[in-house]
A and B are shown apart, each in its own frame.
Chain A
Amino acid sequence: MRRTLIQLFLVFAISWGGAAWVAAEERWPKLGLDLAGGTDVLLRAPDGTDPALVDSAVEIMRRRIEAIGGVQEPTIQVVGGNSVSVQLPGVTDRERALEAVGKTGRLSFRPVLDVVFIPPEGSEPTTTIAATTTTAAGTSTTTGVTTTSLPAVSTTAGPTTIAPSTTIPPTTTVPGTTTTAPATTTAPTTTTPIPTTVPPEPTDPDLDDPTQEAILTGSVLAEGFYYRLGPAEVEGRDISEAEPAVNPSNLTWDVSLIFKSDAADRFQELTKRLATYPTDSLQRTLAIVLDGEIVSAPGIAADVSPVEGIAGGRASITTRGTKDQASALASLLRYGALPVLFEQDQVTSVSASLGSDALRAGIFAGIGGLALVAVALILYYRVLGLVAVLGLSVFSTILLSIYSWLGNSEGLSLTLAGVAGLIVAIGITSDSYVVYFERIKEEARRGRGLRGSVEEGFRRAFRTILTADAVSLLAAGLLWALAVGPVRGFALALGIATMVDIVVAYLYTRPATALLARTRLGEGGRFSIRGAAGVSAPGKARIA
């Protein structure tokens, strides 16, 4: 008796407490786009695409979507091996969204011709380039440290350099030498050929054509600084491998690069030419551009000779960063380029108003459905109906907590199809009560005592419930595994709810009914269990 009470108390504490916590913390289940509004894109890579390739494409898309800004919580995930599902809540600018996810990344290696300062809008116009570069160099000189406040220059020739592969110690870059190079001289001014008075227009990153000259910037440059870049001479598709690797000389992380054999010569030619510039020259810099953005701009290491360049198709970029930074750059190099040509399988955009209409309809229907079921169960099963109604509250609060948890930790969102699955599950869980209560009635009519009926009834009913729920679970599991899109949301909701049903039947319904059978509500009056069974207690006159 006491154990039963404690068990029931725990069930209520966990289920209701969970729901109360969800409500208090406002960690509501995450809503799918069909309920919350937004744009949903499903892309498919050609069959046989390397899964790692798809993963990196997802990374690139994420970066691009972050660049759009204003997207609350984009969900980008690989589904079914070679498809990518992109969900952009609140995004109604369809065109922009499609561009961000659909376009393939194009990576190129381009020589830096020149640095350009274009003041951000609103500030004072036309500062000449020469002046800027001098200042930059000057700052470095005074501080004597490379990581100065002017990233435009310090990042250029500073931390990142490109050198022959680090695997052979003698040829490795000594970061110290290269990084101090710009600080010791004001050479950029002299080598910069064109101090134009008219500030050049930056190239629109979206319109960048790697075969043309362009003026581009990126997060590696300080605000307002642009590089004028020559046409691409090596492109991302020329890279065969890019891996993070430890630099043996100072134990920081580098990115080791291997070019495909047909590109190795071109890369060597390019580096030969760049190496003819003095080590402190800006033109000794190679910009790595992805989709019109400079993602990295390593200088050619000081020990690369203009005669040999970087030969053998192997190079190493010193990042002087953490492993994560090196990995990020490596994956950019590896995959930023490899164009995965996705096909747009499905694009849906739902306005926020329609989404909230559907959500309201779902909630109304759910609550209305639960209320109707509750009334029907109480009318028919009387006090047992009350057990069922409390059970339904346990069932729905547990589901709420599960969806809240899955939504916040796994990013799972509840779609309209999921709501439908849950509504169907209300039917399934009510059925568990119906099966059980009919069993109790049957056992009671056979003349068994009330407690016996309740116990034996559960034993038999639970077997039926398990069998029937097994079919539901089977359906849910197979649909989850084999179907695509909304069907999966439905399958998941059905599967979760069916499992919750089994748990609730065992941990709540059984002890609750057993407890009830011991109280006055078991035997006495029309509202009792005995009354619901429609038979009087053995030896007594019939009530009904």
Chain B
Amino acid sequence: MSLWKRIYRNETQIDFISNRNKGFLISGILVAIALGALGIRHLNLGVDFSGGTVVETENRSGADTGEIRDALRPLGLDAATIQLTGQGGTGIRVQTQPLDPEQEQTLVEAVAEVAGVPTQEANVSSVGATFGREVARRAFRALIAFLVAVTAFIAVRFDWRMALVALVALLHDLIISAGVYAVTGFEVTPATVIAILTILGYSLYDTVVVYDKLDENQKTLGRRKSYAEVVNVSMNQVLVRSINTSLTTLLPIASLLFVGSFLLGATTLREFALALFVGVAAGTYSSIVIAAPLLSLWKQEREAPAQVPASPPRAAASGPRKGGPRSNSGSRAPGGRRR
């Protein structure tokens, strides 16, 4: 039977646990690259975080950066960052330090003139430096609150070890997504923050679906099989779900990516979609390759002395519906004693 057919019928027998080191290795390399990129190239923080003024217009006159710089020299703004955007320089983007309203108006007029467009058609965005920091600070605070809340949720709904492992998988996804920004040098904008938050939500969502299956199988199969085996069975069962879900999530994002980059040149959309695409793919990957094997590794270590089928901790875990949290205390105790 072909692999496709086996996947279609959920009859795959991939041994995720034995192959976990390969997965860890791949992830390790990716994370290392991402961290390296973040360390060397840093993130290109957009005007929304650093404060400043950005003027964007259509480049109707076909001006090049030199001409634009010349036009800005009388205003003393020739140190501004000037970029031609779009395919073949069809757009102009000028970024400066924060300006006062009058300076800003003269800047907009100068740029519009050199670009050959009416002033009203220029897009202007200015952000106070303090506000930029505020946005970043609040986003960070939201992130921490979110992580704490979700960890608590998973700990209550499943168990605390699953929560910690989910966090590890999440960090993995975040680092890789941030790495993409560092490698490509894309500007980090509020849209990026949204993309990152989405990835975060998605990564956890995916991990939760995997855990749900694991939890259920642990209850039904836990008496007969080792945790690693339960993980393996569960992984094979949710594989199709994971693939299909990723597909159905990635399709709209891919459509956003495609429309954003090829049809309309909406750069914000494109960058947003790219981050999402990488993040969602990493999220699905990490649930299967990082979260589940890591969990089995951790749990197995604790139940190592009892390789007999009906070991006490697993019997506890397969107990009543609310058995999750209780099973930890059961399985943690022997582990604690062992160390």
- A residues contacting B by CB (< 8 A) are 42, 44, 92-95, 98, 102, 343-351, 353-354, 357-358, 360-362, 364-366, 368-370, 372-373, 376-377, 380, 416-417, 420-421, 423-424, 426-428, 430-431, 433-435, 438, 441-442, 445, 460, 463-464, 467-468, 470-472, 474-476, 478-479, 481-487, 490, 494, 534-535, 544
Contacts and interface: CB of A to CB of B under 8 A. Distances in A.
Interface string B267-292: 01100110010001000000000000
19 contacts: A92-B121, A343-B128, A348-B123, A365-B256, A365-B273, A372-B252, A373-B248, A376-B248, A420-B191, A420-B195, A427-B202, A431-B209, A438-B238, A464-B209, A467-B209, A474-B153, A478-B146, A487-B139, A544-B9
B118 to A, nearest CB: 9
Contacts of B150: 471, 474-475
Contacts of B149: 474, 478
B16 to A, nearest CB: 18
Contacts of B88: none
Interface in B188-243: 190-191, 193-195, 197-198, 200-202, 204-205, 208-209, 212-213, 216, 237-238, 240-241
A472 B121 CA distance: 38
A467 B208 contact: yes
Given A365-B256, A427-B249, A472-B205, A345 B134 contact: yes
Given A445-B10, A487-B142, A368 B131 contact: no
B247 interface: yes
Nearest to B48: A346
Contacts of A441: 10
B105 interface: yes
Interface string B120-135: 1111111110110011
B128 A346 contact: yes
A215 to B, nearest CB: 28
B138 to A, nearest CB: 5
Nearest to A489: B194
A358 B252 contact: no
B336 interface: no
Q: Ordered nearest first, which 9 A-B pairs have the shortest CB separation?
A: A369-B252, A427-B249, A430-B248, A345-B131, A92-B120, A482-B142, A368-B255, A369-B255, A475-B201
Contacts of A475: 146, 150, 197, 200-201, 204
A420 B192 CA distance: 11
B251 interface: yes
B253 interface: yes
B252 A484 contact: no
Nearest to A349: B124
Contacts of B263: 361, 364
A478 B142 contact: yes
Given A361-B259, A364-B259, A468 B241 contact: no
B223 to A, nearest CB: 18
Given A343-B128, A416-B268, 15 more contacts: A94-B105, A98-B101, A346-B125, A351-B122, A361-B260, A365-B260, A377-B248, A421-B198, A427-B252, A467-B208, A468-B205, A472-B201, A474-B146, A475-B150, A487-B194
Interface in B284-315: none
- The interface size bin for chain B is 35 or more
A32 B60 CA distance: 26
A206 to B, nearest CB: 14
Given A364-B259, A431-B249, A484 B266 contact: no
A424 B279 CA distance: 12
A357 B264 contact: yes
Contact of B245 (A42, A372, A430): A430
A95 B120 CA distance: 11
Given A361-B264, A416-B268, A427 B280 contact: yes
B272 A345 contact: no
B145 to A, nearest CB: 5
B322 interface: no
A535 B9 contact: yes
A434 B248 contact: yes
B160 interface: no
Given A474-B153, A486-B191, A487-B142, A468 B259 contact: no
A425 to B, nearest CB: 9
Given A427-B253, A468-B209, A478-B142, A494 B201 contact: yes
B258 interface: yes
Contact of A464 (B8, B119, B193, B212): B212
Contact of B253 (A346, A380, A423, A468): A423
B251 A373 contact: yes
A382 to B, nearest CB: 11
B244 interface: yes
A434 B247 CA distance: 10
Contacts of A416: 191, 268-269
B87 to A, nearest CB: 14
B212 A463 contact: yes
Contact of A369 (B127, B204, B253): B253
Given A348-B125, A485-B135, A486-B194, A431 B248 contact: yes
